[in-house]
Amino acid sequence: MRLILVRHGQTPSNVAGELDTAVPGAPLTALGHRQADALPDALADEDVAGVYASVLTRTQLTAAPLAAARGLEVVVLDGLEEISAGDLEMRADDDAVAAYADTVAAWIDGDLAVEMPGGPDGHSFFDRYDAALATIAGAHPADATVVAFSHGAAIRTVAARHGGHADHRLLNTGAVVLEGSPAGWTVASWSLQPLGGAHLAGDTSHDVTGDPDPV
């Protein structure tokens, strides 16, 4: 399977540098909608068999233009959501951002016992995200291409586990492509710009979940 994990478009919380991870989450900004609208052309060469999104509003809004262009429904799938910020939810101060980033970094380094303050440990994160990927894989042929809209820290952490560069950023509507199956994924590519082009990057100075070193 070819699984294209796309980060959602820009939200007001991204602009403010807030740790916005709870359901339903923020909508898209005007730039976020432009980023989403650029995806059908950006993925024109992909034979997309399915479009999935997390339970958060921003991924579903980002997925909608691509799904409409391909005549597909957006399948909302529990498990693709962002790494929960726990007690740090909606904070934007340096201490909170550093605590979130340090926890994610520990998981990427393999220490899954570390807990997000007031939130999950790495084992529970990977259990639910891996289950979502397995659900997607089970719904399509092994040679299918599927697009799943998810979140910055979640995609970066999963990609790093499967050979991706842990120090890479993932901007809004950037993507990581996984190839393989739940028995073994490999990172085929990691886009360092929005799929629609660098002109859609916007202000990334407060990208607390897309940047491996946000403080």
Q: Which residues are catalytic?
A: 8, 82
Closest CA to 79 of 125, 138, 119: 125
Helix ranges (H only) for the chain are: 12-16, 30-37, 39-42, 57-70, 94-108, 122-138, 152-161
Closest CA to 116 of 151, 154, 165: 154
Q: Is 22 exposed, middle or buried (0-12, 13-18, 19+ CB in 10 A)?
A: middle
Task: Please measure the distance between the N-terminal and C-terminal CA atoms of the chain and give it in whole angstroms.
Answer: 36
* d(C-alpha 114, C-alpha 1), whole Å: 31
**CB–CB of 40/89 below 8 Å?**
no
